[in-house]
């Protein structure tokens, strides 16, 4: 309805109809702008919360500081590109292929190398990935109770690996209780590979930690030689 129509129809009813229609359109326009503004606020707030959640998940990852330390030990640059790749989520289904570029493959390879070298630095210096008490908490016995010694190269190797394993096991348990899966990020797959390689080389029969007996007899000489020659120049522990 326009002014020309109103001019030609001067009855009170038509004037009232014109007034109501005009007023309604004004309210509709105001409501639309208000709803749009509200929607933008909701979307922005949701986006901020989502980004903060992702950032919190990264910061809560138990191996985040270990990764940064490993990169620093090898004089590698740990930047957003590296972090975004390591904390990229794995497909929920193992049947979904993972596509990565050549550059990303190199980053993952560098990370694996850094993690292995960090492990042997801990062996050499007597370092650990978490409190030694976590070994008994996770597996029922302390290193001293299990292997009967509390110092020396084999003790340091034992502590380095089993604190790594304890930390990884606790992380897996937490993931499974929350997401019904053990591995969430690309980084988690790398940690699994480190665990499997070290276990295969030094503790190949020790998956059920409290039950294995003479640990040293389970060492696979070929695996030990291979991994030490690559990541540990001094092959004597």
* Pair (169, 222) in one structural domain: yes
Tens of pLDDT, residues 3-22: 454 445 555 555 555 545 55
pLDDT digits (tens, 9 = 90+) for 171-200: 999 999 999 999 999 999 999 999 999 998
Nearest to 162 by CA among 131, 116, 117, 197: 131
Same domain, 176 and 201: yes
Do 134 and 183 sit in the same domain of this protein? yes
Asked if the model's pLDDT at residue 47 lies above 50, the reply is no
Q: How far is CA 97 from the centre of its chain?
A: 19
Q: Give dist(CA 130, CA 76) in Å, integer.
A: 23
- 25 with 112, same domain: the answer is no
Identify whether 74 is part of a domain.
yes
Co-location of 144 and 194 in the same domain: yes
Distance CA 133, CA 142 (A): 7
Return the pLDDT at 176.
95
> Rounded to 5 degrees, what are φ and ψ at 110?
-60, -40
Do 156 and 146 contact (CB within 8 A), yes or no?
no
Predicted confidence at residue 57, as pLDDT, reads 61
Q: What is the pLDDT of residues 105-123, one digit of tens each?
A: 999 999 999 999 999 999 9
The answer to whether position 198 is within a domain reads yes
Number of domains the chain contains: 2
Tell whether the model's pLDDT for residue 65 goes beyond 70: yes
- Domain identity same for 97 and 212: yes
Q: At what angle do helices 186-202 and 153-179 cross, to 10 degrees?
A: 140
Do 91 and 138 lie in one domain? The reply is: yes
What is the span of the domain harbouring residue 135? 62-231
pLDDT tens digits, 129-162:
999 999 999 999 999 999 999 999 999 999 999 9
- Residues 171, 114, single domain; the answer is yes
- 236 assigned to some structural domain: no
> How high is the pLDDT of residue 29?
58
Report d(CA 218, CA 229) in Å as an integer.
19
Residue 222 placed within a domain: yes
Q: Which tens digit of pLDDT belongs to each residue from 67-112? A: 999 999 999 999 999 999 999 999 988 788 888 999 999 999 999 9
Q: How confident is the model at residue 212 (pLDDT cuts 50, 70, 90)?
A: very low
Single residue among 54, 71, 95 that ends a domain in this structure:
54
- SS3 labels along the chain: CCHHHHHHCCCHHHHHHHHHHHHHHHHHHHHHHHHHHHHHHHHHHHHHHHHHHHHHHHHHCCCHHHHHHHHHHCCCCCCHHHHHHHCCECCCCCCCCCCCCHHHHHHHHHHHHHHHHHHHHHHHHCCCCCCCHHHHHHHCCCHHHHHCCCCCHHHHHHHHHHHHHHHHHHHHHHHHHHHCCCCCEHHHHHHHHHHHHHHHHHCCCCCCHHHCCCHHHHCCHHHHHHHHHHHCCCCCC
Look-up: residue for tokens 């007899």? 217
d(CA 43, CA 70): 38
**Residue 35 falls inside a structural domain:** yes
Residues 156 and 194 in one domain: yes
Same domain, 24 and 125: no
CB 112 within 8 A of CB 190: yes
Residues 49 and 69 in one domain: no
Q: Is residue 237 part of a domain?
A: no
Note whether 170 and 217 are same-domain residues. yes
Q: Tell if the pTM clears 0.95, that is, is over it.
A: no
């Amino acid at each position: 309805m326009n002014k020309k129509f109103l001019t030609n129809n001067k009855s009170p009813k038509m004037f009232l109809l014109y007034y109501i229609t005009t007023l309604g359109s004004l309210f509709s326009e105001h409501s639309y702008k208000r709803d749009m503004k509200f929607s933008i606020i909701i979307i922005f707030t949701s986006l901020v919360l989502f980004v903060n959640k992702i950032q919190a998940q990264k910061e809560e990852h138990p191996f985040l500081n270990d990764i940064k330390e490993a990169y620093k030990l090898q004089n590698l640059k740990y930047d957003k590109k590296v972090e975004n790749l390591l904390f990229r989520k794995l497909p929920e289904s193992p049947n979904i292929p993972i596509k990565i570029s050549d550059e990303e493959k190199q980053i993952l390879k560098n990370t694996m190398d850094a993690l292995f070298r960090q492990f042997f630095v801990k062996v050499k210096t007597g370092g650990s990935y978490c409190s030694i008490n976590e070994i008994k908490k996770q597996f029922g016995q302390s290193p001293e109770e299990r292997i009967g010694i509390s110092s020396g190269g084999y003790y340091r190797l034992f502590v380095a690996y089993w604190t790594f394993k304890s930390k990884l096991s606790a992380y897996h348990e937490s993931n499974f209780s929350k997401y019904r899966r053990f591995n969430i990020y690309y980084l988690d797959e790398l940690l699994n590979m480190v665990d499997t390689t070290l276990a295969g080389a030094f503790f190949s029969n020790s998956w059920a930690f409290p039950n294995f007996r003479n640990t040293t007899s389970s060492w696979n000489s070929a695996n030990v030689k291979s991994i030490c020659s690559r990541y540990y120049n001094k092959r004597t522990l």
